[in-house]
Amino acid sequence: MYKVLIADKLSEEAVKIFKDNGIETVVKTGLSEDELIKELETCDGLVVRSATKPNKKIIEKSKRLKVIGRAGIGVDNIDLDAATNNGKVVMNTPFGNSITTAEHAITLLLSTARQIPYADKTSHEGKWEKSSIKGVEVTGKILGVIGCGNIGSIVVDRALGLKFKVIVFDPFLQNEKAKEMGVEKVELKDLFERSDFITIHTPLTEKTKNIIDSDAFKIMKKGVRIVNCARGGLIDEEALKKNLESGHVASAALDVFVNEPPKNSPLIGTKNLIMTPHLGASTTEAQEKVALQVAEQISDYLKTGAITNAVNTFSLTASEYNTVQPYLKLSEQLGGFAGQLTENAIKKIIVEFEGAISKINTQPLIQTIICFLLKKNFDGINVINSVSVAKTKSIQITTIKHENAGEYQSSVTLTIETEKQTRSVSGTLFGGKPRIVNVKGIKIEAELSKYNLYISNEDKPGFISNLSKILSDNKINIATFNLGRKKSGGEAIALISTDNEIKDNVIDQIKKIPLVIQVKPLTFNES
C-alpha cells in the first residue's frame, strides 16, 4: 500500500480522496527537519503548502519518496534541483487558486487607486478626511501586466472589464494570443515608461528577481501605482520604500514579501503602502480546490503513473500513460543497448519517431532513452533529470518525428554520434513487446532478455561453429540466436539471448575468434 505524509494543513476532503484510492495518509504538521526525514522513511508521497520546506537534505535522505505535491502554485519552498537530481516528481496545482489570486490583485489595484485602507483607518479613528483623500479613476488608465500566465491572463480579463487599457510584458505570450486577448504586447522598458498601474504575475527566478529595481523606478511615471501578489523578491523593497517616501510612486500594495512574515521589514509603516499577509490564495473556494487537486494528482501518479502539473519533468495523463507505457520498455532497451556499446564520449543524440508513435507524447520516451543511454557513465542520472544532465555535458539532443509509417506501424531510431563513430539502433513493438529491428543499418529482429551477447563479425564461414563451441564448452544455454548482415561477406551482427550470465573469460575467448570485430555482453532489467 502506498503512503502519503500531509505536512501542512489540508482539507479533510483531500484525506478522503487518498483513502478512497486505497492510499494511507499520515497528517503531521509543524515537523522539524529531522522529524520530517523520519516520517518520510516510510512514505511514497509528501503534500505541502508553503510552510513546510523540503530542502536538499530532506529530499536526499527520503529514498522511498516518489512525489512531492504542492497545494498551491508557488514551489520556491521546495528544492527543485534536489528533487530532480534524486528522481522525485514535483507537482503543483496552478489552476486552483488562479481566480482567487487574480481577484485579490484587482482588489489591491482598486485600493491603491482610492486609498481604501487609509480611508477606513481614519474613519474608525473618528476622523472625516473626505476632502484630503483624493483618488483616481481607473477607466482609461494604462495597466502594465508583467507576466500573462494563468493568473495574469485572468487579471487582464477583469481589468479590461474595468475599462483599463492593458499592456503586457511576457516573452512567452504569442502576438496572436495578445491580439485575441485585446492587449498590447510590449517590452519591459516600454511598460515601465507608459504604465499608470503595474501588477506582477511571474514566478521568482534568477531572471525575475528584483525585476522592479531602482533603475526601473527611474523610468516610471511619477504617480505610478504598483501591486505584487506573486512572489516576494520580484520588487526591490528598499527601492520601493524610497520611491514611496519621495512620492514618485503614489501607492503600492504588496501581498508577498522577501521575508514572511515581514516582522522587521523597513517597509512597515511606509506611507501609502498597503500590506496584506499573503492572502492571494486565501479563500474558502481556493483552499478547497488546491487540496482536492493535489490529492487527486498524487493518487493518480502513485496508482497509474499519470503525471499532472509537474514542474520538474513531463506531464502525462492517465490515458497518455496507457498509450506510452508499452514504449517505455522499448525506450529503456534502445538507450541501454546503445549505452552499453558506446565506448567514447557522446557528442550528439538523435531520436527519431516514425509512424503512429510520432503522434503521442514522446517526451517520457526521450527522457527514458537518454537516462539508460547515459546510465553507465553518470552516477545519479534518472528519467527525470536525464535531459538536464545531458545538456550539462554539452551533449546535443535532436528529436525528429515522421508521421508516415515506414516498414513498421511505429518505430523508434536512436542515433549516437561520438568523436570516432556514429551508431544507430532501431526498435518497434511486436505483440506489445519490444523488438530490436536494425543495428548500424543492418536489419535484424531480436527480442532481448536479461542476458544477451552482441557480436559484430566478418560474414565468412566458420564464425558460427567457433562461437557455438565456446558457448557449449562453457555450458551457456542459448535462448534465441538472431543474425543480420549488410551483404554476403560483409559485416554481420549476432544478437544472442542466453539463460545465464556470460563471464569475462568467455568474452575473452570469443574475442579471439579471427572473424570477430566487437563483442559485448548486454544486460537488461526483466521487469
Q: H or E element: which one contains 483?
A: strand 478-485
Is the previous residue joined to 261 through a cis bond, with omega within 30 degrees of 0? yes
**Position of cell 536479461?**
450
Of 90-94, 145-149, 179-183, 374-378, the range with the lowest mean pLDDT is 374-378
C-alpha cell at 192: 515601465
Active site residues per annotation: 231, 260, 278
| Chain segment 380-409, per-residue pLDDT in tens | 788 888 988 888 788 999 999 998 888 899
Domains, the chain, in order of start with CATH, read: 3-95+285-304 (3.40.50.720), 98-275 (3.40.50.720), 314-440 (3.30.1330.90), 449-527 (3.30.70.260)
pLDDT of residue 214: 96
- Catalogue the E-assigned strands of 419-477: 422-430, 433-439, 442-446, 451-458
Residue 247 CA to residue 243 CA, distance in Å, equals 6
Interaxial angle between packed helices 318-341 and 284-304, expressed in degrees from 0 to 180 and rounded to the nearest 10: 50
The mean predicted confidence, pLDDT, of the chain is 91
Residue 1 CA to residue 496 CA, distance in Å, equals 39
| Chain segment 354-365, per-residue pLDDT in tens | 999 999 989 999
Half-sphere exposure of 51 (CA within 13 A, CB side): 12
pLDDT of residue 239: 96
C-alpha cell at 183: 492587449
Measured between its terminal Cα atoms, the distance across the chain in Å is: 20
User: For the residues 12-22, what does the mean pLDDT come to?
Assistant: 94
pLDDT of residue 226: 98
Over 70: is that where the pLDDT of 527 sits? Answer: no
pLDDT of residue 327: 93
What confidence tier does 216 reach under pLDDT thresholds 50, 70, 90? very high
Beta bridge pairs of residue 137: none
What type of residue sits at position 318?
A: A
Over 90: is that where the pLDDT of 213 sits? Answer: yes
What confidence tier does 119 reach under pLDDT thresholds 50, 70, 90? confident
**Position of cell 494543513?**
9
Residue 69 CA to residue 47 CA, distance in Å, equals 5
Beta bridge pairs of residue 349: 397, 416
